[in-house]
């Protein structure tokens, strides 16, 4: 009984900030999954075809689908691990959130450069603020302490960030 009491005291409850970051990661995964399902169900999914004697797979479409499935997998796993207070959730979550914060910032830059201020600009601005806030919430000292982030955690996080950026930008 004494061991269980010590475990309960060691596990801190998640604050709304960590829950917010985890929910954002899970939402990224589910939105990407919904887009992928719509893409497969629509007529735009022409990368795969079959006839009586062969299956034809477009290499670009296959790599694009692999990239999408990897983003879905990593974002949902990171969100679930953040909720369960696992360090792996922090290691996977920070790079995914940084990637999407960068993408929304790039979109904002394009819209500002073209002086287009419409609903898409507002949506990108909201997305950037939400994603950047999620990154900041996970980088706060209280969150780093909760996920036991130390100096040996930053290297795998950086390696995963480089891998996911390479996957997203250079895999075609």
Give the model confidence (pLDDT) of 74-130 as tens digits: 999 999 999 999 999 999 999 999 999 999 999 999 999 999 889 999 999 999 999
Overall number of domains in the chain: 1
How many H helices and E strands in the chain? 7, 2
In a domain, 145, yes or no: yes
Q: What is the pLDDT of residue 53?
A: 77
In a domain, 2, yes or no: no
In a domain, 9, yes or no: no
Q: Is the pLDDT of residue 13 over 90?
A: no
For residue 65, the enclosing domain spans: 15-170
Q: Token digits for 166?
A: 């390479």
In a domain, 8, yes or no: no
SS3 172: coil
Q: What is the pLDDT of residue 168?
A: 87
Percent of the chain with pLDDT over 90: 67
| Distance, CA of 11 to CA of 158 (rounded, Å) | 26
In a domain, 143, yes or no: yes
């Amino acid at each position: 009984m004494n061991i269980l009491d010590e475990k309960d005291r060691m596990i801190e409850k998640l604050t709304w900030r960590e829950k917010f970051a985890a929910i954002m990661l899970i939402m990224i995964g589910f939105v990407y999954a919904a887009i992928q399902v719509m893409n497969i169900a629509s007529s735009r999914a022409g990368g795969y075809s079959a006839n009586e004697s062969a299956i034809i797979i477009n290499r670009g479409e296959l790599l694009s689908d692999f990239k999408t499935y990897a983003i879905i997998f990593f974002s949902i796993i990171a969100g679930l691990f953040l909720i369960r207070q696992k360090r792996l959730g922090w290691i996977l979550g920070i790079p995914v959130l940084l990637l999407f914060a960068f993408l929304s910032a790039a979109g904002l830059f394009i819209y500002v450069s073209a002086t287009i201020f419409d609903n898409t600009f507002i949506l990108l601005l909201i997305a950037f603020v939400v994603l950047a806030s999620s990154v900041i919430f996970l980088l706060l000292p209280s969150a780093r302490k909760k996920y036991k982030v130390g100096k040996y955690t930053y290297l795998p996080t950086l390696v995963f960030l480089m891998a996911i950026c390479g996957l997203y930008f250079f895999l075609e």
